[in-house]
Structure 1
Amino acid sequence: MPELLSRGFAVWTQNTRSASNDLTLLHEQALLDMAAGHAFVRDRGFEAVVSVGHSGGAALAAYYIEQASLPASQRESATPGGKPVPLAEAAMPVPDGLLLMAPHPGQGRLLMRVIDPSVVDENDPMSIDPTLDPYDSRNGFVAPPASSPYAADFIKAYRHAQHSRVERIDQVARERVADSAKARRRHATNKDPRDRRQALASGVIVVHRTDADLRGVDLSLDPNDRPYGSLFGRRPDLTNYGIVGFGRLTTPEAWLSTWSGISSRAGLVRCAAGVNVPVLLVELTGDQACFPADARETAKAFASDDVTHVRVAGRHFGAPIVDGATSGATLAGEAMAHWLGKRFPTAAFVST
């Protein structure tokens, strides 16, 4: 944001009702929050409004544009878990363009690549299938910081097992959502307070070990300028067992809407097919969440015939590749300002 402000562009930033708390994040509700921001800047007379998405905000911004571009009657009416969301009744101004910086594929698709499939008991953070353990030397792992050479057969089995684990968590989430819905319907009829309590007691899903992307320790997979490790640290073989990580705590509804790579609708590539406005995608060459293949796939997925894909040196959050170099944020700001200057002499931004 400072890079854009310093170049003379007005910037509007906001957060969703789930600020700093993905525990309850429902993407469909977040679209309503984005709509409020877009309406706010439009009502103040800006001639052009360009939406900005960084990291996971990229998928949210694309999802917003997809839904805002549809006739109201065709917008989503509920979350994947069934919670009603009144998008059809909302004013959803379509922005004039979309800027993306380090856009990962969306929370669900990202988690699908970082979740540890060797977990065999969701209630036991130490449970393990050794044949799928990414940090076992028998599967190709070597002591850091040396890059681990995983075999193609192991990678294929690993990706399949990741999908299977997400499927199992999806099943649990859907069962809990269904039980809550049944209790709500009973309460509507009999007004029994026990049913009301059960409707609210869907619980929290705990997902152990979500720092296990093979690309974090095998730098030959989809190579770029990234350092060894993950967004969470230089030793994913250790942080994988800690308390940090994507999607570690989530309600069943939020799991299905946000963190499930199977059930969530907020995948960047899926949503890009509904984006017809001009797009600039800024890929950072040392990114550990948006890899080169992700960036290429995303750029090709947009429906717009005006898509620009540039690469600048930097890391996911805008740090420089090496100490003393120009920051990725500054280089991204330069690319954004150049693109904006050619298309939108004056613009406001809705930051996600």
Structure 2
Amino acid sequence: MTGVERLGAGRYLAAGQRPDNSLTTLHELSTEDGSTVRGALSTVPGATTVVCLMHPRQDLTHHPLVPLLLRAGAAVWTQHTRSVNNDLALVHEQALLDVAAGMMFLRERDFRAIVTLGHSGGGTLYAFYHEQAGLPAAERIALAPGGRPVPLPETEMPLPDGAIFLAPHPGQGKLLLACIDPSVADERDPLSVVPDLDPFSPANGFAEPPASSSYSPEFLARYRAAQRDRVARIDAVAREHLARAGESRASFTKSRDAVDRRRSLAPRIMAVYRTDADPRTVDLALDPSERPYGSLFGKRPDLINYGQVGFGRVTTPEAWLSTWSGLSSNADFVRCAPRVAAPTLFVEVTGDQAAFPADSRAMISALGADDLTAVAVRGLHFGGPIGDGEPTGNELAAAEIVSWLAKRYELA
């Protein structure tokens, strides 16, 4: 496709140069349930405060904030979950076991302060961890939404000393609930459409980009209700698959028949079509902000929605219920936020295409910390600048983060 700009071009920024005196070491950790996760600890001489970056699905080893934090005198811990770069089977409750392994490792390194920094989906991951770590062990979640036992009550979960949230969205499930296309008429057919719900039909208010669309309140009300209905239908399918697997496990316990064992192990892989259809990405009058036209995935949601890229596109029933269902997932920022009690900094970016102003207000209002600071900086979700020649959102956010850290913790 020579001469055609790639639909997702420009989403990510490269990290800058790390200080010459920084040292990075790689570490392999074991979790409470026996999984192996890996992390990188970068330090500078004299660093006694460590800032932790994680995301439930992505590798943040080279996050652009790492060199900026090192230059400010903080150590930085970047860690994988067991589902890094492959979220097919991502169960958020298991990801908390991964976070806990990292926190235990850092406590053993004798840092004076451990501060979590959750960017994007890392925000809800860390809010979920703060919530569960702050509960008495017996009150922690013991079963994931799909019924899988998770040993959070038996896991040592050190509480971090601070929390930073950078452009957090409301959670993978809430995010998908807002951008899933409810006009899919047949879950087996990615091109099937219910015309009255089609967000990319001019009859419903869509305008050919780059013009902004204009949806009526009546259409939006039907659209949002239909999104919930579609997620509920997919939830029911996921639970049906898990129930059948459970029946086969129970039958195997009695029969010891290999056929039952195979049935209990056979994976159900769910394809979820068209998940880039939040009306706010193409109707800029909805919850207005400094965001550009388009979604996190690129400038043409009307095309990307039909492609391979998108949230929760291929998943297992367990992962759907734990991570991608806005109706079933526990990894919900607003649900978790009241138990985030450590000193907290919330950094909103004004051009965010994942967390819109109303989302950010709801998340900030829900946070339970007495020491709570909320700031906004000009920038895009992944840290790019809004305008040519401007400082990047990452640079502006780093200045706020470093200033906040320096007032509360020791920096080298």
Quickly name the TM-score band, shorter chain normalised: over 0.9
Alignment check: 8 A CA contact 1:48 1:346 kept: no
Alignment of 1:136-285 (within 5 A): 136-285=201-350
Q: Which residue of 2 aligns with 1:19?
A: 84
The superposition leaves residues 115-153 of structure 1 with CA deviations (integer Å, 9 ceiling, x where unpaired) of 000001100001110000000000000110101110000
Q: Give the one of 88, 95, 107 matched to 1:30.
A: 95
| Equivalent-residue separation in structure 2 for 1:103 and 1:301 (angstroms) | 13
CA shift digits 1:295-343 (9 cap, x unpaired) = 1110010111121110001100101112221010011111000011111
| 1:84 Cα deviation after fit | 0.6
Q: Distance in 2 between matches of 1:86 and 1:231?
A: 34
- Conserved in 2, the CA contact under 8 Å of 1:125 and 1:241? yes
Other-structure match for 2:182: 117
For 1:129 and 1:305, the matched residues in 2 are separated by 48
Aligned pairs, how many?
347
Answer whether contact 1:47 1:346 (CA < 8 A) is retained. Answer: no
1:196 partner letter:
R
Structure number with the higher strand fraction is 2
User: 1:76 maps to which residue?
Assistant: 141
| Post-superposition CA distance 1:78-119 (Å, at most 9, x none) | 110010111111110000110011100000000000000000
Which amino acid letter does the alignment assign opposite residue 194 of structure 2?
D
The separation in 1 between residues aligned to 2:322 and 2:196, in whole angstroms, is 31
Tell me, yes or no, if the aligned pair for 1:176 and 1:202 is still in contact at 8 Å: no
Question: What's 2:409 paired with?
Answer: 344
For the pair 1:332 / 2:332, whether they are aligned, the reply is no
Once residues 227 and 411 of structure 2 are traced to their aligned partners in structure 1, the CA distance between those partners, rounded to angstroms, is 45
> 1:4 is matched with which residue?
69
Q: Distance in 2 between matches of 1:323 and 1:278?
A: 34
Unaligned runs of 5+ in 1: 348-352
For residue 153 of structure 2, the aligned residue among 73, 85, 88 is 88
Equivalent residue letter for 1:206: A
| Residues 177 and 202, structure 1, Cα contact 8 Å, conserved in 2 | no
Match of 1:323 in 2: 388
Partner residue in 2 for 1:350: none
- 1:192 and 1:111 map into 2 onto residues whose CA distance is 40
When normalised by structure 2's length, the TM-score is 0.83
Q: Structure 1 or 2: larger helix share?
A: 1
* Secondary structure of residue in 1 paired with 2:351: coil
Looking at structure 2, the residues matched to 201 and 324 of structure 1 have their Cα atoms a distance apart, in angstroms, of: 53
Match of 2:48 in 1: none
The TM-score normalised by the length of structure 1 is 0.97
Detail structure 1 runs of 4+ shifted over 4 Å in the superposition.
Answer: none
In the other structure, the counterpart of 1:107 is 172
Distance 1:47 1:332 in 2: 23
Calculate percent identity across the aligned residue pairs: 59
SS of aligned partner of 1:33: helix
* Inter-partner Cα distance in structure 2 for 1:346 and 1:148: 48
Query: Does structure 1 conserve the Cα–Cα contact (< 8 Å) formed by 2:269 and 2:317?
Result: yes
Letter in 2 for 1:185: A
Q: Aligned equivalents of 2:229 and 2:338: distance in 1?
A: 26
Q: Deviations over 1:160-214 (max 9, x none)?
A: 0000000000000000011111111111221111111111124111100001000
**Gapped regions of structure 2 (runs ≥ 5):** 1-65
1:53 counterpart = 2:118: yes
Contact 2:72 2:411 (8 Å CA) reproduced: no
For the 8 Å contact 1:55–1:104, the answer to whether it is kept is yes
Q: Find the aligned partners of 1:233 and 1:200 in 2 and give their Cα distance.
A: 37
Letter in 2 for 1:273: P
8 Å CA contact retained: 2:140, 2:152 = yes
Q: How far apart in 2 are the matches of 1:189 and 1:57?
A: 43
Q: State the 1:346 CA deviation.
A: 4.2
> Matched residue of 1:23: which SS?
coil
CA separation in 1, counterparts of 2:259 and 2:278? 43
Query: Higher RCO, 1 or 2 (CA under 8 Å, sep at least 6)?
Result: 1
